[in-house]
Amino acid sequence: MSDRIVVITGASSGIGAVVAEELARRGATVVLVARREEALRTVAQRCGPRAQVIVADVTHRDQVKRVVNETIKRVGRIDVWVNNAGQGITRPVSELTGEDIDQMMTVNVKSALYGMQEVLPHFKSRGGGQIVNVSSMLGRIPYVATRSAYNGAKHFLNAITANLREELSSTHPNIMVTLVSPGVVRTDFGLNALHGGPDSRQLPNSQSAEEVAAVMADVIERPRPDVYTRAGWHQRVVDYYQATGADP
């Protein structure tokens, strides 16, 4: 890990911040990206002197392009790009507005799409690299009705992650496209959801951000295409669809 340069979006708090700290502890150079400069610099202090801070809103393509170019200018290259920025929602389908859907798609899908597209030319020129897209168990099984448009956005993210992996498999097999699916994580995610929401730290069957970070660090050290952050969750997905009566 000591020679890896890892860009992490949504790095000012939650999973992104803890992943940055874990990767830095393992020796990586981390580039922290988010909108809140003060929060980013606090995380950077915990990551050590090699951590880089770039303030940007990754829902805007031109700012993502700037992050790519500025990172290469500062540290020479990018080895791993982690699309972690995201936001939840608390609203059932019957109450969704067009604006709700636009917000969920912009934050959870477009930000990741811009990251994938803007870093790809660099990875192709180097002949390798890794994109890590942070999804959710709700992108596998939409079992929380009030997360509605968030569920849909993460299903969309899963699809384009798989599509990009297939697109690159024959022409650029050394570019790994990885999907990570956490469940409920004890962060401010719930409180920061569009229209508010329950505190994720008070929900049952949650896991710590540190547990998720360890899984993500491992999948960067030993790249794989698709991982859950807790054992047994693949079977949970299978059981869910069997219970709905879905055909294999």
Residue 188: other Cβ atoms inside 10 A? 13
The 5-9 sheet, strands edge to edge: 52-55, 29-34, 5-9, 80-83, 129-134, 175-181, 226-228
pLDDT of residue 217: 98
Q: What is the mean pLDDT of the chain?
A: 96
CB-side neighbour CA atoms (13 Å) of 123 = 23
pLDDT band with cut points at 50, 70 and 90 for residue 204:
confident
Q: What CATH number labels 5-243?
A: 3.40.50.720
What is the rounded distance in angstroms from the CA atom of residue 1 to the CA atom of residue 216? 12
pLDDT of residue 247: 61
pLDDT band with cut points at 50, 70 and 90 for residue 246:
low
pLDDT of 167 over the 70 cut: yes
What tokens appear for 104 in the block? 């969920």
**For the chain, domain boundaries:** 5-243
Tell me the whole-structure pTM to 2 decimals. 0.95
Please write down the long-range contacts of 101-104, taking CB distance under 8 Å and 24 or more positions apart: 101/149, 101/152, 103/149, 103/194, 104/149, 104/150, 104/152, 104/153, 104/194
- Residues with a catalytic annotation lie at 150
Residue length of the chain: 248
Q: Which residue has the tokens 């002949």?
A: 127
- Whether 61 and 120 have beta carbons less than 8 Å apart is answered as no
Question: To the nearest whole percent, how much of the chain has pLDDT over 90?
Answer: 90
Q: Which residue has the tokens 């079977």?
A: 235
CA–CA–CA angle 201, 159, 9 (5° rounding): 50
pLDDT of 160 over the 70 cut: yes
The tens digit of pLDDT for each residue in 46-82 reads: 999 999 999 999 999 999 999 999 999 999 999 999 9
